[in-house]
């Protein structure tokens, strides 16, 4: 923790590792933000056991909220969230369920989760596992509704939201993810929107994380 009253809860993307975020964390620290970062096993996604998803999400949210309350007793005053890719789903849920979280950044988030899982090359194994268990896309949509950014858009009212999307994203496809932007607009969220027209999921996500001045300006707004 740095000598500051601001804490950012960071949630990593699928198949990434915490060590890959070291530079990002150092940049946040240098600009006055303490960081708590969460990772999760990729097996959680590939096995497509959504009972475990619900349990894992609940454990992470509870841990973050517990830490937040501890930091409050130590004088920390501003609490923020940041998610990349799949981590945006946890950042979203934390922001919705935690009144103290004032700002949240979604660095390339999902549209309809079930559609993303059904169409993305990265989640072919998860789709196959679901089909082998007789689970359809419609059934999956019901199971993941609690995580879905479109379904839960209104839950972010009262928060400041920075949404990044990429037109060339081949992992979270833009025709699907742009529906999240529309849902956020329909919910009349206090949203800042930034769109990358050229860089895809990995390069564009990294570029967004390196834009520390823009992140600081948003968090300090």
Q: 160: domain CATH number? A: 3.40.50.1820
Residue 80 lies in a domain: yes
Residue 115 lies in a domain: yes
Q: In the beta sheet, which residues pair with residue 139?
A: none
Residue 89 lies in a domain: yes
Q: Tally the domains of the chain.
A: 1
- Which of 161, 102, 128 is closest to 47 using CA atoms? 128
Q: What is the pTM of this model?
A: 0.94
Domain range enclosing 36? 6-219
What is the pLDDT tens value at each position of the chain, 221 positions in all?
Answer: 677 899 999 999 987 888 899 999 999 999 999 999 998 776 666 666 767 778 888 999 999 999 999 999 999 999 999 999 999 999 999 999 999 999 999 999 999 999 998 988 778 888 888 888 888 999 989 988 999 999 999 999 999 999 999 999 999 999 999 999 999 999 999 999 999 999 999 999 999 999 999 999 999 99
Residue 1 lies in a domain: no
């Amino acid at each position: 923790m740095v000598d500051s009253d601001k804490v950012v809860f960071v949630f990593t993307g699928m198949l990434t590792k915490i060590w890959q975020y070291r530079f990002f964390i150092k940049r946040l620290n240098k600009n006055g933000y303490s960081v708590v970062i969460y990772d999760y096993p990729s097996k959680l996604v590939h096995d497509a056991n959504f009972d475990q998803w619900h349990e894992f999400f609940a454990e992470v949210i509870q841990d973050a909220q517990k830490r937040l309350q501890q930091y409050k007793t130590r004088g920390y005053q501003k609490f923020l969230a940041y998610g990349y890719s799949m981590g945006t789903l946890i950042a979203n849920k934390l922001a919705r369920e935690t009144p103290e979280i004032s700002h949240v950044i979604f660095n390339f988030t999902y549209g309809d989760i079930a559609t993303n899982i059904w169409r993305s090359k990265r989640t072919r194994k998860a789709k196959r596992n679901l089909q082998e268990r007789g689970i359809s896309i419609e059934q999956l949509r019901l199971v993941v509704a609690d995580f879905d950014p479109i379904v839960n858009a209104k839950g972010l009212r009262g928060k400041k939201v920075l949404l990044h999307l990429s037109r060339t994203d081949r992992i979270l496809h833009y025709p699907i993810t742009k529906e999240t932007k529309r849902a956020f607009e329909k919910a009349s969220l206090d949203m800042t929107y930034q769109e990358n027209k050229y860089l895809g999921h990995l390069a564009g996500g990294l570029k967004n994380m390196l834009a520390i001045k823009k992140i600081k300006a948003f968090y300090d707004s």
